[in-house]
Amino acid sequence: MQIHVVRPGDTLFDIARLYSLPTNILIQSNEIPNPDNLAIGQTIVIPIWGSYHIVMVGEDLTQIANTYNTTVSEIVRINGLKSPNAIYPGFRLYIPQKERLSVDVGAYIDPRMTVGTSGKVVDKVGDNLTSLSVFSYEANADGSLTPVVDEPSINAAYNHGVVPLMVITNFSEGTFSTELASTIFNNPSLQDKLLDEAIAIMDQKGYLGLDFDFEYLGAQNREGYNSFLRKASEKLKAKHYFISAALAPKTSDEQIGVLYEGHDYKTIGEIVDFIFFMTYEWGWSGGPPMAVSPIDKVRDVLEYAVSVVPKEKVMMGIPLYGYDWTLPYVQGGPFAESISPQQAIERAAQNGVTIQYDTVSEAPHYFYTDRQGKRHAVWFEDARSIQAKFNLVKELGIRGFFYWVLGNDFPQNWLLIQDNFIVNKRV
């Protein structure tokens, strides 16, 4: 597939003609929200098998072949060239489809966000998933679990050969609780009660694995969490269930902060089957405007992760959302609005602004002024930023990647999965 970036003067008809495709194919495959009003800088994924390269001034076939990890002879053959020198600036070359890597692809779903539509949300993307983590059963101080409406998600997962994972959190009264985690980790009987109840639910509802998302543990709970996961692993392995954990993004074991100190990458990597590394939220709703998942920061985390955790257990986190900040940003002021990539494109087009692309963070962004005269900054994900993350997955040779959170429209993402990878199915 090809990623086309809309230039000044581009129309959808012109773009379709450039790639010899019907206009409606581009509209349908990308679910283009603004076909008659494209935003400059907007990406459009061209659904072709392979891609095209337009020869630039000074380029030769050797350079082009190296760019696409192919050979000069293959480009000459596939394009029917008489010789390697039979090209010129502006010449269009077809580049064959690259080899696809087999990976695991996971996604979280929060039925509280997708009330009444959870099954449809999973149905839409389920063929591109290996696992579905249903967020979340909240642990209580008495060892019980507060349930979530999960049946539609589980049923849809099975319909698409997707492994349903039950998620347990230390979420209490709207936030992750250090105190709740301490209560559980310091009481073996509470642990047994919680795990036995979780396994009973899994047996009843058809879950095939248990995913622990315990956050803000602090240094005081580091060893307690390790011990708890060891106990959980013993119980789960006896039932042939998967065990996984979601961990905060660290770049060293000495990283300071209540979010980081309780997560022991190396030890947890020895216990669980795989780890969901939450490589997002650098740009967050309560912080200043910036990329949510900047590739340089993601790389730092994953390079540390693979130094202490087997690559076959490492899953990269990818956000299915961006943020719209009202400026000026004031610490402690109103939070940014969470928006989908589709909504971000719509707002850029509606306000007639150009989508810019930061090549360091590998992320699109723009500014606009609303009807009340207030300035806004928007950072989100597009086809280019997703492809950059996919390239990192291939470079590092990790197990795969996952998404937070289903329910945000981003059709280009799923097109690019199909172009880059073969999705493992484990049901």
Q: What is the DSSP string of 17-75?
A: HHTT--HHHHHHHHT-S-TTSPPTT-EEEE--SSEEEEPPTT--HHHHHHHTT--HHHH
Phi then psi for residue 216, to 5 deg, are 55, 50
Q: Are 173 and 142 in contact (CB under 8 A)?
A: no
Backbone angles phi, psi at 383, to 5 degrees: -60, -35
330-355 exposure pattern, b = at least 16 Cβ within 10 A, e = fewer: eeeeeebebbbbbbbbbbbbebebeb
Please report, for residues 45, 117, 154, 240, 396, the alpha-carbon distance to residue 415 in angstroms, rounded to integers and kept in the order given.
8, 22, 24, 33, 22
- Catalytic entry in 138, 215, 261, 381: 215
Asked if residue 150 lies in contact with residue 134, where contact means CB atoms within 8 angstroms, the answer is: yes
Tell how strand 322-326 and strand 337-339 pair up.
antiparallel
Task: Write out the E strands in 281-362.
Answer: 314-319, 322-326, 337-339, 356-358
Task: Let me know if 215 is a catalytic residue.
Answer: yes
Place of tokens 């280019």: 384
Contacts of 324 (CB under 8 A, 6+ apart): 336, 337, 339, 344, 347, 376, 377, 378
Give residue for tokens 């090209």: 87
Q: What angle do CA 3, 28, 117 make, to 5 degrees?
A: 110
State the catalytic residues. Answer: 215
